[in-house]
């Protein structure tokens, strides 16, 4: 602990003696005198610029999101851009931000540091969804981009996601190279904070219109929408950036009966009506579901603060609203899209779908039926974008997604997009209504045809200085001593994405996993169950994903089969001693 204390004091004193504002210095002195624990958490390390950028609690210190850590990160990114694109007449970058506290200020600092480094900046005039930032990078021919957001994290957090010239987040070698450049920035004096206003161009509604016009081209059933334009939809942006863009997009598609949850329609980084601004959590949709029940709506949608992920609630066969998980929404969405592509004569044999390795295998079954090629990639839409980049001259990407409520349709945006997803989910609901069905009915149809896939997720949080070490030990334990049996079913395959080895336990053979190395471990059981474990790259936790499957022969058996699958996951969790 003495080594930590020594490093904390060294870092804190460097800031006190450095060229920072008086308010920040006073905050440091206050921590020194009254809150040594907070001082330690704020200064025991540098806020890591990871492969996706920055994310952390806002405040003063080397381990906090503030104007200085944002400035240093931007200077490192600018230095790398100048190394790669030094022969360009003008390097360009786009910048967007969400509704979180300090997001406009952090975005402005980013713009000023870029422009001080002779980089042309396209800065949105107000908060915008992350996917629109991806679109803007491509539209304006930028070499990079930044969106200031902490996605669905609690209100104390903010973040900074870096993008490359195709509108996707950084992948090798650029991610590691940018990290190296950021680490070289060891002093505030290395950062050019004095911006050049002539290099900062404010963009706004003209970009919105271009983006939304492209989204409208995704529609596959305009005639069905005309017939069912008035299906009642309740939407909540959860105090985030979707408040304008999602309703606008829905109206562009032709939907006329959109009910906004007014109490959550005002952007607010304190998220006053929410326990968490995360559409994966049931509490986030409570207010919207109450409105839907009161007003007779049939579909509820909620987007996270930067509007790249969407959670939905639909009525089950008893007329009660239930939440669909990310895998279920992906299944309904892609099932609809694949069927319409087939019916519209658009399948030529060169189409493909992409999912992540922790996402339901059901999506592969759906794609196989319609003759659509499939790819499995690591978690993160940057890997989906990488496949699109490699195939864009020879094949057509239809859609893809991941279990954590992120979906992408078409290839003009290279990150998950809740704006287009909301519109296409509403279109799927209209298509279901044209058959006298609901989205839940479509889900049951899928289970009857392909099997009842059921998933679960547990996140084990390990905060503080020791958290990363504890998470590392958990992974190390499962790697070095993998279980032979889980829930009375043999482990028949182990995939270790860190060693890039897939081991068939039954015959002892090993094959190479042809994906970038990643700290992910998967166990496949004899009964068809799949267990994945992955430390989060942005939060102090490790996630365990569970996928089980059974046959569903009759809709009347749905609840019994679901109950048995839930119990199977519970037994698996008990067997892993989580």
Domain coverage including residue 158: 48-203
Q: What is the mean pLDDT of each run of 10 residues along the chain (578 residues)?
A: 75 93 96 94 90 92 96 97 96 98 98 98 98 98 98 93 97 94 93 97 98 98 98 98 97 98 97 95 97 97 97 96 97 98 96 97 97 96 96 96 96 96 98 98 98 94 79 93 94 96 95 95 94 82 94 96 96 89
One domain, residues 336 and 480: no
Q: In 3-state terms, what secondary structure has residue 22?
A: helix
Measure Cα distances from 533 to 310, 424, 503 in Å: 23, 31, 16
User: Phi/psi zone of residue 59: left (φ > 0), alpha (ψ -120 to 50 degrees), beta?
Assistant: left
Q: Which pLDDT score is estimated for 3?
A: 55
* Structural contact between residues 182 and 72, judged by C-beta atoms closer than 8 angstroms: yes
Cα distance between residue 169 and residue 538, in whole Å: 14
One domain, residues 314 and 194: no
| End position of a domain, from candidates 401, 424, 450 | 450
Number of domains in the chain: 4
Q: Residue 336's domain is classified under what CATH number?
A: 3.40.120.10
Cα distance between residue 115 and residue 146, in whole Å: 13
Q: Which residue among 134, 144, 151, 420 is the active-site one?
A: 151
One domain, residues 266 and 279: yes
One domain, residues 54 and 74: yes
Q: Residues of 204-225 as b/e, b for ≥16 C-beta within 10 angstroms? A: eeebbeebbeebeebbbbeebb
Q: Which pLDDT score is estimated for 538?
A: 61
One domain, residues 239 and 351: yes
One domain, residues 198 and 269: no
Q: Which pLDDT score is estimated for 1?
A: 40
- Annotated active-site residue 151? The verdict is yes
Nearest CA to 548 out of 498, 495, 486, 482 is that of: 486
One domain, residues 25 and 174: no
One domain, residues 57 and 72: yes
Q: Which residues, at least 6 apart from 501, have a Cβ–Cβ distance to it below 8 Å?
A: 495, 510, 511, 512, 513
| End position of a domain, from candidates 388, 418, 450 | 450
One domain, residues 277 and 395: yes
Q: Which two tokens stand for residue 76?
A: 């490192």
Q: Which pLDDT score is estimated for 49?
A: 87
Q: Which pLDDT score is estimated for 52?
A: 82
Q: Which two tokens stand for residue 331?
A: 């299944």
Nearest CA to 545 out of 376, 326, 354 is that of: 326
Q: Residue 468's domain is classified under what CATH number?
A: 3.30.310
Nearest CA to 415 out of 386, 385, 374, 391 is that of: 385
One domain, residues 463 and 498: yes
One domain, residues 446 and 501: no
One domain, residues 402 and 294: yes
| End position of a domain, from candidates 180, 203, 226 | 203
């Amino acid at each position: 602990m003495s080594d930590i204390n020594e490093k904390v004091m060294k870092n804190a004193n460097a800031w006190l003696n450095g060229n920072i504002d008086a308010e920040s210095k006073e905050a440091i002195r206050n921590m020194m005198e009254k809150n040594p624990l907070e001082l330690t958490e704020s200064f025991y390390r540098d806020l890591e610029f990871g492969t996706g950028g920055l994310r952390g609690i806002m405040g003063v210190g080397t381990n906090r999101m503030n104007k200085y850590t944002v400035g240093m990160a931007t200077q490192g990114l600018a230095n790398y851009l100048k190394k790669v694109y030094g022969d360009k007449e003008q390097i360009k970058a786009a910048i967007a931000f969400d509704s979180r506290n300090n997001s406009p200020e952090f975005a402005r600092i980013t713009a000023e540091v870029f422009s001080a480094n002779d980089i042309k900046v396209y800065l949105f005039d107000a908060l915008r969804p992350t996917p629109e930032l991806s679109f803007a990078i491509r539209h304006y021919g930028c070499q990079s981009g930044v969106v200031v957001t902490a996605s669905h994290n609690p209100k104390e957090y903010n973040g900074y996601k870096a993008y490359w010239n195709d509108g996707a987040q950084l992948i090798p070698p650029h991610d590691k190279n940018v990290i190296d450049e950021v680490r070289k920035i060891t002093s505030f004096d290395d950062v050019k904070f004095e911006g050049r206003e002539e290099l900062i161009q404010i963009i706004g509604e003209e970009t919105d219109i271009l983006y939304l016009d492209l989204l409208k081209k995704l529609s596959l059933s305009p005639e069905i929408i005309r017939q069912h334009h008035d299906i009642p939809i309740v939407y909540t942006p959860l105090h985030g950036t979707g408040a304008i863009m999602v309703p606008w997009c829905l109206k562009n598609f032709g939907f006329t009966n959109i009910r906004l949850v007014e109490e959550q329609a005002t952007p607010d980084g304190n998220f006053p009506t929410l326990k968490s601004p995360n559409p994966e959590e049931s509490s986030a949709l409570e207010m919207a579901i109450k409105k839907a029940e009161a007003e007779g709506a049939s579909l509820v949608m909620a987007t996270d603060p930067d509007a790249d992920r969407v959670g939905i609630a639909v009525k089950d066969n008893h007329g009660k609203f239930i939440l669909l998980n990310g895998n279920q929404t992906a299944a309904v969405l892609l099932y609809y899209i694949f069927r319409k592509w087939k019916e519209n004569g658009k399948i030529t044999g060169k189409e493909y779908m992409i999912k992540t390795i922790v996402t339901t295998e059901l999506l592969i079954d759906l794609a196989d039926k319609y003759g659509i090629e499939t790819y499995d990639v690591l978690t993160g839409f940057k890997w989906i974008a990488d496949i699109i980049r490699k195939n864009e001259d020879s094949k057509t990407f239809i859609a893809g997604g991941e279990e954590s409520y992120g979906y992408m349709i078409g290839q003009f945006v290279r990150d998950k997009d809740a704006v287009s997803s909301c519109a296409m989910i509403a279109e799927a609901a209209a298509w279901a209504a044209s058959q006298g069905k609901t989205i839940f009915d479509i889900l049951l149809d899928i289970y009857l045809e392909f099997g009842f896939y059921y998933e679960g997720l547990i996140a084990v949080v390990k905060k503080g200085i020791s958290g990363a070490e504890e998470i590392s030990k958990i992974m190390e334990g499962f790697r070095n001593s993998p279980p032979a049996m889980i829930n009375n079913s043999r482990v028949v395959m182990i995939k270790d994405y860190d060693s890039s080895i897939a081991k068939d336990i039954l015959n002892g053979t090993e094959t190479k996993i042809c994906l970038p190395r990643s700290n992910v471990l998967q166990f496949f059981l004899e009964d068809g169950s799949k267990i994945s474990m992955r430390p989060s790259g942005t939060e102090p936790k490790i996630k365990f994903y569970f996928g089980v499957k059974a046959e569903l022969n009759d809709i009347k058996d749905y609840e019994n089969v679901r109950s048995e699958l839930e119990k199977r996951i519970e037994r698996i969790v008990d067997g892993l001693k989580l």
